[in-house]
Amino acid sequence: MGFLDEMKRRLTTPGAEAFSRERFRSAQPDYLKTPGAGSPGGDAPPPTFYDTVDAARRRRRLLFTALGILGGILLIAGGTYGGIRWYRESRTVQPYHIAFSLTGPERIVSGEDARLQLRVENNSRVAWENVNVELQLPEGFTTKTTTPLAVNPSARAPGSAAAPPGAATLAWTLGTLPSKASQDLVVTGRLLGEEGTAALFHARVTLVPQNRPDARTEKTAFSSIAVGGIPVELSIDFRRCHRSSKAKSQLPGLSKDSPTPQNRSPRNWGL
């Protein structure tokens, strides 16, 4: 008879003697009599059950926690890198921070006056120092006025001599240009050239950022003007031509049907 059958018989038999824990242990089989490790009194450890659903839930929770921590680290690192890069770019003058343009007429007649305008604009967050502008003029262009007054390229100091009218290069010393500020330069002059040619103007601006005295930046701009011929205007006064034709037909000895003087012989003219 097995152990379970014996237990069932003793528990279900009417008037059976209640047996104590010691008697129950003595009736246990040998594989249950071995005391568990670390169990007080030599009792066998309670059986443990492995819940797969709860284990999967715990794994997902750990995975989401790890992903959240990793995402937070990446977000902090990206924000730090972006902030450092933005600060460096905001304190550094890049080529796109320099707005430099040279504009003028597209086409003029040889001998007419041309007006050129240069514009320098500081779009950075740093002030510029030692801002210098040069304009190379083409052959055939004679300068008349400059605003502000242009100086000789070889002498840029304030108060230096103005550039002569026939100078091939004009120069301006603007000094310091604050952030988000601009400066306009205007040049007027007379342009001579052959019909069908183009005059090329070349401008350059150089500057030094205030926070980086060792960094020198420059930018160039170009503009061309086409030279055309002098237009010729033709007009015909039909009324005057009509009066001249009528007066010619009324000459003595000349009628509408009579031959012209070129076709008449000297005899007919009374010679």
Q: List the domain boundaries for the chain.
A: 3-42, 95-228
* pLDDT for 269: 42
Which residue reads 């100091």 in tokens? 157
Question: Is 162 within 8 Å of 153 (Cβ atoms)?
Answer: no
Longest dimension (CA), the chain: 187
The yes-or-no verdict on residue 20 having pLDDT over 70 is: no
Burial annotation 190-220 (CB, 10 A radius, 16+ → b, else e):
bbebeeeeebebbbbbebbbbeeeeeebebe
Residue 206 makes CB contacts below 8 A (sequence gap 6+) with: 130, 131, 132, 216, 217, 218
Is the CB of residue 204 less than 8 Å from the CB of residue 220? Answer: yes
Distance, CA of 156 to CA of 253 (rounded, Å):
84
Place of tokens 């890049």: 94
Q: How many Å apart are CA 1 and CA 242, to the nearest integer?
A: 153
Q: What's the pLDDT tens digit per position in 67-117?
A: 999 999 999 999 999 888 887 777 788 888 899 999 999 999 989 999 999
Which residues have CB under 8 Å from 102's CB, separation 6+? 116, 117, 118, 135, 201, 203, 221, 222, 223
Provide the token pair at 105: 């007429």
Digit-coded pLDDT (tens) for 107-163: 999 899 999 999 999 998 889 999 999 999 999 999 999 999 988 776 555 445 555
Nearest to 197 by CA among 112, 135, 118, 109: 109
Cα(99)–Cα(219) distance, integer angstroms: 9
CATH of domain 95-228: 2.60.40.1530
Beta strands in 85-177 (DSSP E): 98-103, 107-109, 113-122, 128-136, 141-147, 169-177
Q: What is the pLDDT, as a whole number, of residue 2?
A: 66
Using a cut of 0.75, tell me whether the model's pTM lies above it.
Answer: no
Least confident of 17-21, 61-65, 242-246, 263-267: 263-267
Average pLDDT over residues 242-255: 54
% pLDDT > 70, the chain = 61
